[in-house]
Structure 1
Amino acid sequence: MLFSDFAHSGPMWTGEGPREVTQPVVFVEPFLEAPHVMVSVALWDIDSATNMRADISAQRVTPEGFSIVFKTWADSRLARVRADWTAIGAVDDPDLWDVD
C-alpha cells in the first residue's frame, strides 16, 4: 500500500494542488546493474466527485532498489493506492563462469 489517506485525513484525500508520495523498495538480492523496473497501480480508491489525475513511476533505480513515486494534482481526492512492480535484470549466479 503506497498510502491510505482517507483513514487519517491525509493530504492525498484532503489536499489540493500538487501532491506526491514516495515509497522506497529494496530488492531482496541486488542486481548486477540497474534493472528495468515497471510499476503499475494495483488498487485505487478515489472520490467520484473529482477528476482522477495520477502519475506513477519508478525513479532512482539502482542495483539495490528504487523508489515508487505517485503524484496527483489539482482537486483530485485519493483515499488509497496500492502499487505492484516488476524488476528484470541480470543477477549473480554462482553456476555461471567465464571461459577465456
Structure 2
Amino acid sequence: MSEPISDIHPFTPKSLRAVTHRQLHVQHRISLSAQTTLVLGQGELFRHVNPDDFMWNGDGDRHLNVFIAFTKPLRRVPLVQVNLMGVDASHAQNLRLKLRVSDAAVTGFVVTAHTWQDTKLAGVDISWSAFEQSNSAPPAWVAASRDQHVPS
C-alpha cells in the first residue's frame, strides 16, 4: 500500500496547478527498443477515510491534484494516459468524476480528480501508462506500418 508523502488540502482557484498530494505507485518499466520505454503503473489516487475530508463532505466544484512520481526519471517527457480502476462513492448521490492528466515531466505527472454538486467520493484508484520515445524518429513498427500500401 502506498503512503502519502504530503497532506491533502482543499482546492482553491489559486492552487489549480498546486500539487496537494503525492503518491508512489507500483510501476513496471518495459523497454520496447533502445529509444522507447513504456512505464505502467497503478495505485490509489486518494482515500478519504475521515468524514470531514472535502471530497466526501464538500459540495460544489472540488479538485484534488496528485503528483505521481516515476521510480526512475525518464529521458524525455512522456505521453501519459490515465484509467479509472475503482471508485468508492456514496450511492445516495449521482457519481460525478473526471480524471485529467497535466504537467507531464521526466520525473512524473499530475492527475486531477474533479467532482461537482453533491457527489461524495471516499476514494479513487487508477492505472496509467507513460510512453517515452527518446528521439524524434518513430519506432520501427510505426515506420513499417506507414510504409504499407493499402490497395484502393
TMscore range, shorter length: 0.7 to 0.9
TM-score by length of 2: 0.55
The aligned residue for residue 58 of structure 1 is: 101
For structure 1, the 5+ residue unaligned runs are: 93-100
Between the aligned residues of both structures, percent identity stands at: 29
Cα distance in 2 for partners of 1:25, 1:53 equals 22
Q: Secondary structure at the match of 1:16?
A: coil
Counterpart contact for 1:31–1:90, Cα < 8 Å:
no
Where do 5+ consecutive residues of structure 2 fail to align?
Answer: 1-43, 136-152
Superposition TM-score, scaled by structure 1 size: 0.81
RMSD value over aligned CA atoms? Answer: 1.6
Q: Give the helix-richer structure, 1 or 2.
A: 2
Determine if the alignment matches structure 1 residue 33 to structure 2 residue 33. Answer: no
Indicate whether 1:77 and 2:120 are aligned: yes
Q: In structure 1, what residue type is equivalent to 2:47?
A: S
Q: Deviations over 1:50-76 (max 9, x none)?
A: 111111011101122111111101111
- 1:24 is aligned to 67
Question: Which contiguous aligned blocks of 4+ residues in structure 1 show a shift greater than 3 angstroms?
Answer: none
DSSP-derived class of the 1:50 partner: coil
Which structure has the higher relative contact order (CA within 8 Å, separation 6+)?
A: 1
| TM-aligned CA deviation for residue 49 of structure 1 | 1.3
SS at match of 1:13: helix
Per-residue deviation at 1:91? 5.0
Matched residue count: 91
